Structure 1
Amino acid sequence: MPLITLLLNLTTIMIMWIGAGSVAAGTMEVGTIMAAISYSAQILLGFGILTSVILVIPRGQVSIQRIYGADRIIVMEHGNLVETGTHKELLKKNGAYADIYNSQFADGVNSKAI
């Protein structure tokens, strides 16, 4: 994200530098410069969000693999131990873990697809 911020600031400075010369020459209006700054900010911030999503997806995949491969998962509700077991065992029990799992993957995604 710092790189996107740097690019945004450098782009703004470049637009203002070029635009100031055009305004002084009378070939451009100040509103046009402001629009260019606004549009460039929207585009670069969009890239920043895309970068964040691209970085988060692999982290989520690693977390899911850890859960599926865990020797023991402990499920707690309101500070109380509800159930323990592996991912497959807890899904077979159809208890609290299965409820949480199914609420996250309600669209039909199963553990073999990930």
Structure 2
Amino acid sequence: MPDLAALAVHPACPDAATGPEAQALRGELARADWSGAPAQLAEFARAASARVPARFKPRKERPAEVSWYAYFSAHRDACREIGSADKREIVNLLMAGLDPETALRRYLAAKADYEAGSAIR
């Protein structure tokens, strides 16, 4: 199966969507045999469901903010680099059902990946 993630275009480099490599990738995707995709997708969904934290608990916005504030207050050292925009994203993860510790870990990992990708370009 071709790597569909290669189709994602970073906002800082919109030219990547029109270059010869992008055209070659589109051709490869068009020629790919997608008949096995439904089975792979079902397996991926099962694996992803198995990775959902045991403490999964969707929240409304206010309870999520209260939960984040309680965690933030108890773990100020771990949260010293968190700004208001970061807080907003973490609260969104809490509203999606993650616990504060997992939400912070996932957010920091995603932020580091994004910054590493931005630094390359």
Query: Same fold by TM-score, threshold 0.5 exceeded?
Result: no
Larger radius of gyration: 1
> Which structure has more RCO (C-alpha within 8 Å, separation ≥ 6)?
2
TM range, smaller chain:
under 0.3
Give the TM-score taking structure 2 as reference length: 0.24
